[in-house]
């Protein structure tokens, strides 16, 4: 792993899960970490456990009117942002046929428009600073169409597309590198906080997420990928990894398998839903 001594790393969604683990991994590698999220108490708790300098910078990712000031505060802290990790987001657990249109608007705002906006506000600064590294936490659902996640998959597909196009413009011209991360099941609160058909939080987890990889292991793999300037990291195991790879190697087979799986999931969801 590269030494991140005197580097500034900005992690959104840093109060728990993969974001918290990434903040810890970068800090332990010598980095100064900006911790962002909505909950000041949770961010402060994380900051108190890190060995290097931290800045607690809370904000709501869709508060677009405040973002320029937030970016100004972040860059004023150490004079630059060397690594921007767009991690904040929310998932979904609902059938498309039951989901209100506003859920799509809300989720795409949080998972796609917000990280694009935060990135756009820093590109000119990154060019002037001589380069940077942008990390986008997408999902395996950003590579394949996952049942119960139509809005989430749409946003995560879009995030990969934006970052891939951005990389083509800035990696060689401005030394701004881009790494897309596609995690599979990681043991976080992602399912608990997922939006349901009416926009409310689901409030419960599921076995696949609970049995997923540890956030610490995921974070270690992400930091290693950033250090090696890997354009895309699929962090998944078993069938999730196989399905993600099928998108390139045999998309027709992927569509066949996901249709069968989706039918099973939808039938079970209709029975189990409260």
Q: Note whether 188 and 16 are within 8 A (CB).
A: yes
Strand, coil or helix: 212: coil
Contact indicator for 227, 1 with CB cutoff of 8 Å: yes
Active-site pick, 4, 104, 152, 235: 152
The conformation of residue 97, written as its DSSP 8-state character, comes to G
Cα distance between residue 240 and residue 261, in whole Å: 12
Q: How far is CA 155 from CA 73, 120, 125, 143, 224, in A?
A: 28, 17, 26, 11, 25
User: Please, are residues 234 and 143 in contact by the beta-carbon 8 Å criterion?
Assistant: yes
Kindly provide the b/e burial profile for residues 192-230, where b requires at least 16 CB atoms within 10 angstroms of the residue's own CB.
ebbbbbeeeebeebbeebeebbebbebbbbbbebbeeee
Phi, psi of 111 (to 5 degrees): -90, -15
User: What residue spans of 51-149 are helical by DSSP H?
Assistant: 64-78, 101-108, 114-129
Q: Is 152 a catalytic residue?
A: yes
Distance (Å, whole) CA 33 – CA 117? 20
Active site residues: 152
């Amino acid at each position: 792993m590269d030494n991140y001594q005197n580097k500034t790393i900005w992690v959104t969604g840093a109060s728990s899960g993969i974001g918290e683990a990434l903040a810890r991994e970068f800090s332990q590698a010598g980095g100064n970490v900006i911790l962002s999220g909505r909950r000041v108490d949770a961010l402060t708790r994380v900051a108190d456990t890190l060995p290097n300098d931290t800045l607690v910078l809370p904000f709501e990712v869709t508060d677009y009117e405040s973002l320029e000031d937030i970016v100004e505060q972040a860059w004023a802290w150490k004079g630059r942002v060397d690594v921007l990790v767009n991690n904040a987001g929310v998932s979904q657990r609902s059938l498309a046929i039951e989901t209100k249109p506003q859920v799509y608007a809300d989720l795409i705002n949080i998972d796609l428009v917000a990280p694009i906006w935060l990135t756009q506000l820093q590109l000119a600064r990154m060019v002037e600073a001589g380069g940077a590294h942008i990390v986008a936490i997408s999902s395996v659902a950003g590579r394949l169409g996952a049942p119960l996640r139509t809005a989430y998959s749409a946003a995560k597909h879009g995030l990969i597309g934006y970052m891939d196009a951005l990389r083509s413009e800035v990696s060689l011209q401005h030394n701004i590198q881009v790494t897309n991360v596609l995690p599979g099941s990681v043991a976080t609160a992602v399912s608990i906080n997922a939006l349901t058909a009416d926009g409310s939080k689901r409030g419960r987890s599921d076995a696949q997420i609970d049995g997923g990889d540890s956030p610490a292991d995921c974070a270690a793999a992400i930091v290693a990928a950033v250090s090696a300037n890997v354009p895309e990291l699929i962090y998944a195991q078993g069938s999730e990894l196989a399905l993600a790879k099928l998108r390139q190697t045999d998309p027709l087979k992927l569509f066949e398998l996901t249709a069968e799986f989706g039918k099973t999931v939808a039938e079970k969801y209709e029975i189990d839903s409260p």
